[in-house]
Structure 1
């Protein structure tokens, strides 16, 4: 057996940060796939391998998106952040994201930490103070920072670029760089007005950043991160404003700075530090080694839109401050799309975490697995509900769950759930155990290199190993001819099941917990053994030796579950997801798409002007449908009998895709009765039913509001 250890033991401690989510909306699957699930896998893995780890996050509650949301909803920015902070924090907890601390940037400790950080750089002369012209909305009486202004990106030509960053090409810029800027508040073309701000001179750190990242990390940082950093450096860095003219945020802590706050991308990353301080105060620990000790590894998990802030601006801030360590790695992911389209908060094109947890109770691990197996690690990927269903049914249920179910059912059937004493191992037994012992290193090596998608598939390969072993050995047949051999087979199968209970924890924490309970491992041991004793009909008692397991035990220990160990009661780890459940999600997205199309629909322009005499030629009357049948061999046509007061006439109408014939008997309608007859599918149509469209694209009747209006009444 190999005695090699995973390289995760190299650092004395680890500080893991996950990008602070904006509290202008809930968390969606794009956030999870890009940041929080991979960071959680990494943190759980490091803990299981015996490392000193803190996993830090918190709500980002400042910045222009918050104030825009507040203006739209007619509430205060504090109301906005309180609402979404609660939703986000609970969603993370319910989903099993194992933060050691989840804070918020409105907390007093953060305001104090960010203010002190700024003040130190200010006192040491690290900023440039400059008065310059900035965009200003005269009607709103407000400077237009960041997302308060939109215009054409000077680099890629995107006409919807924000004032601080273009989301299409990723370029960061100042609001005054935009071409044809417009206020996002009023839509007005802004003027320019003089104002004073403080800037971090990034150009002074350009040479150092190139040496530290482009040269120093060219072999261990992801290519997408290195490429974006190099592009920024090649374009030449410029001074970056670290203050804004806003009334929401952390006040600039210097004299004569009234009405100014810290730029959100100055204060937000400091939130990692203040959250660590909050954790340390609660736990009675010293926070400084986690941020200032050279033996600590700092890892930032982010999406690709945050690369510039975490690889250029925040490191420059830390370098300027002088006492902090720098990130060891910034394994940024690309974007996750949804059913072929970019996820959009504003367009409600997303799968929201809190809604998923309601729609799929107790299926947190299914989403974790689907997002990890399809993670956008090197390129943008697409989430589809059909793939989600297939990952669950064909992999988690059919491979992982099937193996565990067979092992537990057979163990209960043959040995009353007691681990049997094995007999002599065959070559296939030894080979299978040897392969099992290698999986901690195989999976760990992938995690250490931030290849979480690869690691998740290696975990599934361990379950495949167990399934193949059982399929080849066929204990359900062997039991009839060689009971001694079956004991060995089931013993080995239970060792693989135990390995899965440990190695699955970073990826499938709820499943791992359930499996440990089934196998009567760790905290569940005493409970399960007591329950087993209580259920026995005789006076004998089942005993069970203490079984605790960590990651490296799977590699180092010859035996994970000892003979005579009593396992617990079996239960299914995963349940099949039916087509109806998936269709409900697709229907929700389709409704969202139709709503967006309706909101963005351009109203048809007015037709050419007609004379009053032209209008008076139209004879429009109220009628009632008294008969309706489908026109054979057509999709859209219904043949109607309509009472229009002066007669009952036949009208052929193309409304069959919106209405069933039997449902519209008795429907009041508006009819143009003096339209020239027209033959449709051999039927003479003697008029036209007037219709309009609903937001979801369906047809709707134009009918009188008052039911007492008689057939034949004219409309004028």
Structure 2
């Protein structure tokens, strides 16, 4: 396969609503950075773009928590996140903002292009509306009880306790986070991307063209979505924070954040091109460009189904690969911001990346461990003990140990200079280690091209391990000791040949060290720079074309004194971090218990207010009848709804009732209920419902209102 003319690498845009943890770093940004550093070493034309996602409800919600404005929130967190990435060696070519004018312009143009060509649909649907706040509610502005785990603080898009993706209609007892009151349904018009029109394209492009080169988990998730039948997806929302929809009839509506955010890759590329005197268009429009999205698995549907449909309709190139990672857990539990069970990048930087604690080298320690446990094929787990072991047993004891030994011995046995290599004394041991250097280059290349970063890093560490074995087998220090004894007349031997053997072992070790700097650079860039300093060479040596060479360091060249690449991490440091983590969880748990207690106390005394007064004639309009449930079944794709067949004596009615979370269908057959018999028919999920079942509610549970004794169906209730 021909090498692409250029590369465009993206990493998922993080929400600028708070600090980001190491799970985010491991999922998208670190693997992307490793790949980009490798491409740069290959001298490929590459642009690495990312930026803050500054729209969506997460931003104003955080503003409410901090009692400030949405603009203040993004202005606060954008620079912090940007600096965190820089401190940990993530080398974006541009870290942009979706609040920028060029992004607003790009997103509006994208929407307008699709709209004018008839690629969008308009629909009038019922959405939740807060009558007190007088606003439609985005999913995150609705809270209720999760139907999956019973968490009474689940959001309208996801339960953060169990991780289940939700819709507002699935929540039990939903309330508005703005007023604390139950919302009502109100009609509103929105624009939709009809994904159902593009199932055939997606099926071929993903399930046929990329079934072998994409990760199985990515293809599997896409297949599940496609096989389940794709539905039109709204691209607009009734909000006041975001990019205004560029249509006169869409006042008060903004582009939905999932539509707006990925376009941020394009606007970031435009800004990067402006800043660097380049043309942005080939990076998005030329088929000789290789586009790769690095994301976490929770973003697969957006980057593999929705955004590709948008790109195809907009005549842009499609991603060549989307190497999504699974999730990284922490000390046996899922990372959670709400439960304070997390390790934020800022916390790690504050605790470890200080001159007295190892400085930027400790950034590389985190990079190393996160790559070693990268969740490439399944969820992985960060433990502080594992972090310590990776540093002490691998970076210190293997990689750092070899480099340090090579430099110490070079200064002790070769006067601090690169010794000459005597070809006539080369043996099979020398040839083997030289061959291993060349083989490592090919192995690392292959693995990185396949996005297998964990295995690639292991191959580099394994080469350092072989270097230690080589030195141990050669034992140049013993040869030097023998030379000293010969010179004292305490032993016999060929001093010249012994020195030549020392020279050969040290020459190979130093050339191996230079190769290790090239190989480790994509993974541990700060370490590579420190090695260059010790070798007194410039960055040019890190070009991938130099990898495998045994002439990287010139004979007779003086090298600096050795410096330890990594420090040992003590048990006390690890104990402190574990205790700090547990303390954070305990504090969050205690705070939640206080909040729950207050909520329960409030619920215990809070009785809904009596509705406005009516006259008897209003009540007389209701026709309440006794009915008997003859059959009940769940409504497909609607976890909250049951379809009931009810006998009213004079006829049988189909009634759709939102009680599926409270009753099993088979358990209510035969139950007598009170039915509002003269309610106008209404369609719910395509089923026409003729009536309403009266229910009583207490403590989040529903109860049937029915007679004490069975009476004939159709009798009136007065």
TMscore range, shorter length: 0.7 to 0.9
The corresponding residue for 1:484 is 500
**Which deviates further from its counterpart, 489-498 or 406-415?**
406-415
Task: Name which of 85, 93, 99 aligns with 1:92.
Answer: 85
TM-score scaled to structure 2, two decimals? 0.77
**Which residue is 1:233 aligned to?**
226
Q: For the Cα contact (< 8 Å) 1:13–1:53, is it kept in 2?
A: yes
Q: 2 CA distance for matches of 1:196 and 1:549?
A: 56
Q: Give the secondary structure class of the aligned counterpart of 1:564.
A: coil
Which residue number corresponds to residue 468 of structure 2? 467
Q: Which residue does 1:343 correspond to in 2?
A: 335
TM-score (norm 1): 0.77
What SS does the aligned partner of 1:129 have? Answer: strand
Query: Which runs of 5 or more residues in structure 2 are unaligned?
Result: 354-358, 483-497, 602-718
**Alpha carbon RMSD of aligned pairs, Å?**
2.0
Paired residue for 1:535?
none
CA shift for structure 1 position 518 = 0.6
With over 3 angstroms needed to count, the CA separation of the structure-2 counterparts of 1:165 and 1:590, relative to structure 1, is closer
Task: Tell me the secondary structure at the aligned position of residue 481 of structure 2.
Answer: coil
- The 2-side partners of 1:460 and 1:443 are apart by 11
Kept after mapping to 2: 8 A contact 1:27/1:88: yes
Aligned partners of 2:511 and 2:550 also within 8 Å:
no
Counterparts of 1:280 and 1:223 in 2: how far apart (Å)?
35
* Aligned counterpart for 2:538 among listed residues 513, 518, 522: 522
Instruction: Tell me the distance in 1 between the aligned counterparts of 2:139 and 2:13.
Output: 18
Q: Is the 8 A contact 1:25 1:345 kept in 2?
A: no
Contact 1:432 1:465 (C-alpha < 8 Å) held by counterparts: yes
1:12–1:173 distance in 2 versus 1, CA, 3 Å: farther
CA 1:118–1:575 in structure 2 vs 1: closer, same or farther (change >3 Å)?
same
Could you tell me how far apart the structure 1 residues matched to 2:198 and 2:146 are? Answer: 25
Is 1:23 the counterpart of 2:16? The answer is yes
3-state SS of the aligned residue for 2:500?
helix
Per-residue deviation at 1:182?
A: 2.9
Distance in 1 between residues matched to 2:122 and 2:335, nearest whole Å: 39
Give me the whole-angstrom Cα distance separating, in 2, the residues matched to 1:598 and 1:427. 66
Shift of 1:377: 0.9
Relative distance call for 1:349 and 1:168 in structure 2 (3 A) is closer
Which of residues 514, 517, 525 in structure 2 aligns to 1:509?
525
Q: Deviations over 1:174-205 (max 9, x none)?
A: 54465543323344322011111100101001
The residue that corresponds to 1:712 in the other structure is none
Residue 628 of structure 1 corresponds to: none
- Structure-2 change in CA distance of 1:583 and 1:184 (3 Å): same
Equivalent position of 2:41 in the other structure:
48
Rounded Cα–Cα distance in structure 2 between residues aligned with 1:157 and 1:307: 27
Between the aligned partners of 2:160 and 2:274, the Cα distance in structure 1 is 38
Partner of 1:581: 573
Find out whether 1:288 has 2:287 as its counterpart: no
Change in Cα spacing, 1:559 to 1:410, as seen in structure 2 (3 Å) is same
Q: Does 2:356 match 1:357?
A: no
1:441 deviation in Å? 1.1
Corresponding residue number in structure 2 for 1:455 = 456
Aligned residue in 1 for 2:588: 596
CA drift at 1:521: 1.6
- Local SS of the residue matching 2:186: strand
Note if contact 2:338-2:588 (Cα within 8 Å) is conserved in structure 1: no
Change in Cα spacing, 1:95 to 1:440, as seen in structure 2 (3 Å) is same
Q: 1:35 aligns with which of 28, 38, 48?
A: 28
Q: Structure 1 residues 585 and 271, CA, compared in 2 at 3 Å: closer, same or farther?
A: same
Distance 1:435 1:97 in 2: 30
Number of matched pairs: 574
Taking the aligned partners of 1:430 and 1:413, their CA distance within structure 2 comes to 25
Instruction: Find the aligned partners of 1:565 and 1:33 in 2 and give their Cα distance.
Output: 39
**Judging changes above 3 Å, is the alpha-carbon distance between structure 1 residues 168 and 239 closer, same or farther for their aligned structure 2 residues?**
farther
Secondary structure of residue in 2 paired with 1:328: coil
Match of residue 254 from structure 1: 247
Specify the SS of the correspondent of 2:544: coil
Conservation of the 8 A alpha-carbon contact between 1:47 and 1:53: yes
Structure 1 residues 174 and 603, CA, compared in 2 at 3 Å: closer, same or farther? closer
C-alpha distance in structure 2 between counterparts of 1:75 and 1:404, whole Å: 52
Unaligned regions of 5+ residues in structure 1, if any? Answer: 1-6, 524-546, 607-716
Structure 1 contact 15–296 (Cα < 8 Å) conserved: yes
SS at match of 1:259: coil
1:393-432 CA distance string (max 9 Å, x none): 1100000000011111111112232100012211110111
Q: 1:376 corresponds to which residue? A: 375
Aligned partner (choices 99, 120, 142) of residue 135 of structure 2: 142
Residue 673 of structure 2 corresponds to which residue in structure 1?
Answer: none
Deviation at residue 450 of structure 1 after TM alignment: 1.0
Describe how 1:402-481 pairs up with structure 2 within 5 A: 402-423=401-422, 424-481=425-482
Q: 2:95 aligns with which of 102, 105, 118?
A: 102
Q: CA offsets per residue over residues 479-501 of structure 1, 9 Å max, x none?
A: 23322110000000001101011
The range that moved more, 153-162 or 173-182, is: 153-162
1:297 corresponds to 2:290: yes
Structure 2 counterparts to residues 525-544 of structure 1, below 5 A: none
